[in-house]
Amino acid sequence: MASPQSSLDPANQRGGPEFSESKAMPQLDTLISQLVAAKRSLSSINHVWRANEIVTAARSALEESVIMSSRTGFLRRGLDNQLRLLYDVRSEVEHISFRGREGFSDALRSLDVADARLRGTLDLLRNTIVHASFRPRDEEPKSLHDFVDERGVEELHAAMKSSIDRTNAALAELDTSNREFDDELHSIKQALRHYRSATKLASSRASTASSSSSTSDSDLLALSTMPKMLQSLEGHAQEMAGLLESLVRHFDLCVTAVKHTEGGGAAARSITGDMPAEVQTSNDAMPHIGEEIHANLNAPLDPLSNSEYLEMVNVLLKDALEAEDVVMEIQDRINEMESIHEQVNAQRDVLLAISNATLEVHRHLSTLASTRLPQYISQAHNFTGVWNEENDRINTGLIELSDLHSLYDGFLNAYDSLILEVNRRSQIRSRVEKVLRDTRNKLNHLYDEDVTAREAFRVEQGDFLPSDIWPGIGRAPMQVQFLRLAGGQLEGVLQESQGPELPIEAQAAASTKPNAIDDTAEGEAIPSLPKDVIDQAYTRLKARTRAFA
């Protein structure tokens, strides 16, 4: 038999106000309505079930969060060093690219300047026509460029083009590699943004949930609030189980009262016939409430006195006033648990987001370090090797371009000097001709004087001298003939002119012929140049001399 104490308040003791035996027994309809209300209040057991589910889920979320936080912390400790090393590698690769590009640009500018100077000199050679007096009469006009073999220039240009093309190809490959490297870094930055957003969200939520926490790690801050939330959920679940037990006791009391009321047994069985077979609370120490309910429903009735019956009814009616408050409290607590559960899930989701973001960064770094990063570094080394080789070739080409420019520029200077040399030789030839003319005049005068003297001697003394006294007494004076001999090569001429002298008689025989003066022999042919050609050559040489001064 149920105790007549308050079923809703465990602290309530027997001894409340009683109905006197003279008072009327309560109506069966009133008790049945209380029983129906009590049965309806037992629907709060669904909230207790839900509370049990929430506590179990919260425990799992806490365990999962601890594992994720530990794994995330382990990974994060290595990410900073890896990221710093990665950006150092990217900076060094970019420095190699910048340094190579700058050196290549300087080399190209130097090549352009040297090539422009060489081409300018070649253009001057093309525009400088060799004066016709230097060439055979039937030959087509030629420029100085016609005397230049430009195959060396073409071969040098081909070599420089090959070096430039190879360097450009290596630089293009390095640029492509660097762009791919930047794409990888962009992906990592995206992952880092996700990571920072997750940690920022975790920090804001954890700070809201626990403003007194001083830790700086967002995931640890989020994790630190979850045990308190779990404790709060467990407390609410235990309180709800206790409140449900009070509702069960009130229901049992209503069943007992109805059964002890005349005609109430059938009504009690009708009302309680669809009660659940098993109901368990979230507290493992609590009894199976459904079993208790069915045990009370099927238990035989103990006899009650009128006073005991009235006391039981009195407690029932008093508890009925509190049953609705108990149901409301269970409703409020389950609402609070749902809210806390959402916070737990939110904290778990934040930690999961941090973990996923950390894993994403770690996956990017691991993939990059194991596969593509060695290729990016190798590409930078490959460019460095190519550029060092081609830079040496380009520098050698610059020297050769400069040498060719000096050679062709010297050709221009030599041609202008040749014009001045021809002018000088022409002047010398004029002086020689003058000396020859003066000498010939003097020799002719001496010849005429000698002939006159010999003829006078023959007239005056010839009759007295026998003809055989001296065979040469009747000879005419000798005559001198000048021979123009073409000069040989200059090399060794001075040494030859200082060789052994011929005997006097031989010299006389070689240089004299009787009765003639031979001035028709060909000598050295000197081109005849106009004065303006000579003046222009002199002006050009003077300008070059000032330019190099």
Per-residue pLDDT of the chain (549 residues; tens, 9 = 90+): 334 444 454 333 233 343 334 345 567 766 776 777 667 777 778 888 988 999 998 898 888 888 888 888 788 777 878 888 888 888 999 999 999 999 999 999 999 999 999 999 999 999 999 998 888 888 899 999 999 888 889 999 999 999 999 999 999 999 999 998 888 888 888 877 777 776 776 666 555 544 443 333 555 555 667 888 888 888 888 888 888 887 787 777 777 766 766 555 555 555 665 565 444 444 443 444 545 554 555 555 666 666 767 767 777 777 777 778 888 888 888 899 898 888 888 888 888 888 888 888 888 788 888 888 888 899 999 999 999 999 999 999 999 999 999 999 999 999 999 999 999 999 999 999 999 999 999 999 999 999 999 999 988 888 888 878 888 888 899 998 888 877 777 765 445 444 443 333 333 333 333 333 344 445 578 888 899 999 998 998 888 888 776
Residue 538 sits at φ, ψ, to 5 deg, of -60, -40
How far apart are the C-alpha atoms of 223 and 32, rounded to whole Å?
51
Do 385 and 294 lie in a common domain?
yes
Q: Establish if 11 belongs to a structural domain.
A: no
What are the distances in angstroms from CA 548 to CA 101, 541, 543?
33, 11, 9
DSSP 3-state assignment of 49? helix
Do both 292 and 419 map to the same domain?
A: no
Asked which of 367, 395, 423 is the last residue of a domain, the reply is 395
Q: Are 278 and 290 in contact (CB under 8 A)?
A: yes
In a domain, 406, yes or no: no
Alpha helices, H only, 128-150: none
Residues 343, 425 within the same domain = no
Dist. CA 262–CA 322, nearest whole Å? 26
Indicate whether 240 and 304 sit together in one domain: yes
Three-state secondary structure call for residue 512:
strand
Residues 371, 223 share a domain = yes
Domain check: are 209 and 270 in the same one?
Answer: yes
User: What per-residue confidence (pLDDT) applies to 335?
Assistant: 92
In a domain, 147, yes or no: no
Q: Which domain holds residue 205?
A: 35-131+154-395
The backbone torsions φ and ψ at residue 540, rounded to the nearest 5 degrees and listed phi first, read: -65, -45
- Asked if residue 316 and residue 426 are part of one domain, the reply reads no
In the chain, the number of structural domains is: 2
Q: Which of 395, 427, 453 is a domain's end point?
A: 395
Domain assignment of residue 277, yes or no: yes
pLDDT of the residue at 125? 92
Residue 282 included in any domain: yes
pLDDT of amino acid 299: 57
Q: Which of 532, 527, 530 is nearest to 137 (CA)?
A: 527
d(CA 436, CA 518): 12
In-domain check, residue 469: no
447 occurs within a structural domain: yes
Q: Are residues 70 and 158 in the same domain?
A: yes
Does one domain contain both 125 and 260? yes
CB proximity list for 61: less than 8 A, separation 6 or greater: 226, 344, 345, 347, 348
**Residues 378 and 445 occupy one common structural domain:** no
In a domain, 102, yes or no: yes
pLDDT at residue 171, rounded to an integer = 92
Among 228, 322, 247, residue whose Cα is nearest residue 46: 247
Residues 357 and 437 in one domain: no
- The answer on 376 and 450 residing in a single domain is no
